[in-house]
């Protein structure tokens, strides 16, 4: 049986999965190169075996791909990689599903680097490395923005002169692979909810909220870039554009300095002055940590309410992502005060991150996400010629 490799390149990590190719791909190995930079490490999670960690030392994205290829070499000795799937953050205004990568598409995706400078260059670097390593395999791009294509115009536009919308200055939405997986889980386990009004909170180092009606995205807290909406680990979230004018005029900051500030020094890290990691902030006694968490929860609650307004009500709330799946205090504090929407939390179920944690009329769910599986499914569909199944 041939194999499918998935690559999910972020700014500081490169996740991967290895699957036996099938209509529903069979996971054999997953892992990541974490902490890219001076002290990277390779983490392997073979199916049914203990997790393994290996220090790599100074490693960039190219080195991470090499480390992954060495790690999967034993599994690929007698089987070939038939397809490689890639997470690509930005697919522009038109792409609405997975695409096989050719020269024209790669050039098109390169033109979107300015729209997602923290992620897109790393996504494309992983594609180049995989094309070189597996020249006979099909390469498939899966887009975080694709899930949100087809939004109502009022959700996608800004109140700027219309020519900017035509130039691509619009709200795109992100984390689409995660939302795709959550929706597939709802279809399987809670089909009635999948057809209703669902709010999904993807809470990780990056964070966003999506409003889904009848299995279609109709609203997202993220907009033109992956900076908008909720505060994140190091990203600011929603910001009055007047602040940027102030930074330019009063502080003399240029574009690169502002970019570093908003992408790398803000969010939980900037508010607390301690850490971007929610676990560290929840464990800290520092008042700055408590204030950062309180701001995070306030904005999260506000966005949940906004998405309920977009949907005209809510039939289910879903938490996913590293914080959403594991941080029970954040879930409890976010939902507190939302009883008017029918949302309440059962403390005992919430404490153990049970699949269903509500104590009221509206289901509140915890669904672990799996972006790698979404990518593997898209590759499998391309291999079998059933590309529509992946879209």
What residues contact 243, with CB distance under 8 A and at least 6 apart?
none
Instruction: Identify the active-site residue in 34, 144, 180, 315.
Output: 144
pLDDT band at 387 (very low <50, low <70, confident <90, very high): low
Digit-coded pLDDT (tens) for 186-201: 999 999 999 999 999 9
How many residues are present in the chain? 391
- What are the domain boundaries of the chain? 3-143, 191-366
| pLDDT tens, position by position, 136-156 | 999 999 999 999 999 999 999
pLDDT value for 145: 97
Whole-angstrom distance, CA of residue 134 vs CA of residue 249: 50
Spatial distance between the Cα atoms of 49 and 142, rounded to a whole number of angstroms: 29
CA nearest neighbour of 17 among 50, 55, 39, 46:
46
Q: Measured between alpha carbons, how far is 83 from 309 in angstroms, rounded to an integer?
A: 42
Region 191-366: CATH code = 3.30.420.40
- Kindly report the pTM of this predicted structure: 0.94
Has residue 181 got a pLDDT over 60? yes
The class of domain 3-143 in CATH terms is: alpha beta
CB within 8 A of 99, min separation 6: which ones? 91, 105, 140, 141, 143
Is position 180 annotated as part of the catalytic site? no
Same fold? 3-143, 191-366? yes
> Quick one: DSSP state of residue 356?
B
């Amino acid at each position: 049986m041939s194999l499918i490799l998935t690559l999910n390149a972020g700014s500081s990590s490169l996740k991967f999965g290895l699957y036996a190719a099938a209509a529903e791909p069979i996971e054999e190995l997953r892992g990541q190169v974490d902490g890219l930079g001076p002290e990277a490490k390779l983490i392997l999670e073979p199916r049914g075996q203990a997790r393994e960690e290996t220090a790599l030392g100074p490693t960039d994205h190219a080195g991470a791909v090499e480390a992954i290829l060495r790690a999967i070499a034993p599994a690929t000795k007698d089987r070939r990689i038939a397809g490689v799937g890639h997470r690509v953050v930005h697919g522009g205004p038109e792409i609405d599903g997975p695409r096989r990568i050719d020269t024209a598409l790669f050039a098109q995706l390169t033109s979107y680097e300015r729209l997602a400078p923290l992620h897109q260059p790393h996504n494309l670097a992983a594609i180049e490395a995989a094309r070189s390593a597996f020249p006979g395999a099909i390469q498939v791009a899966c887009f975080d923005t694709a899930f949100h294509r087809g939004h109502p115009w009022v959700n996608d536009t800004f109140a700027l002169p219309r020519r900017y919308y035509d130039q691509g200055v619009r709200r795109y939405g992100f984390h689409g692979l995660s939302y795709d997986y959550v929706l597939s889980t709802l279809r399987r386990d809670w089909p009635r909810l999948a057809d209703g009004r669902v709010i999904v909170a993807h809470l990780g180092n990056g964070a966003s909220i999506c409003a889904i009606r009848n299995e279609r995205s109709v609203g997202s807290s993220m907009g033109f870039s992956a900076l908008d909406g909720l505060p994140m680990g190091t990203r600011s979230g929603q910001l009055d554009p007047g602040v940027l004018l102030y930074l330019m005029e009063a502080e003399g900051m240029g574009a690169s300095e502002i970019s570093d500030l908003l992408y790398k020094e803000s969010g939980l890290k900037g508010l607390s002055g301690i850490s971007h990691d929610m676990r560290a902030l929840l464990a800290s006694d520092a008042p700055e940590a408590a204030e950062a968490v309180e701001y995070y929860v306030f904005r999260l609650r506000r966005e949940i309410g906004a998405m309920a307004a977009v949907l005209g009500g809510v039939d289910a709330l879903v938490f996913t992502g590293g914080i959403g799946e594991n941080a029970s205090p954040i879930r409890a504090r976010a939902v507190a005060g939302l009883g008017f929407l029918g949302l309440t939390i059962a403390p005992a179920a919430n404490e153990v991150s049970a699949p269903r944690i509500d104590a009221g009329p509206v289901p509140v769910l915890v669904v672990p996400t799996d972006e790698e599986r979404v990518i593997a499914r898209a590759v499998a569909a391309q291999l079998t010629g059933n590309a529509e199944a992946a879209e």
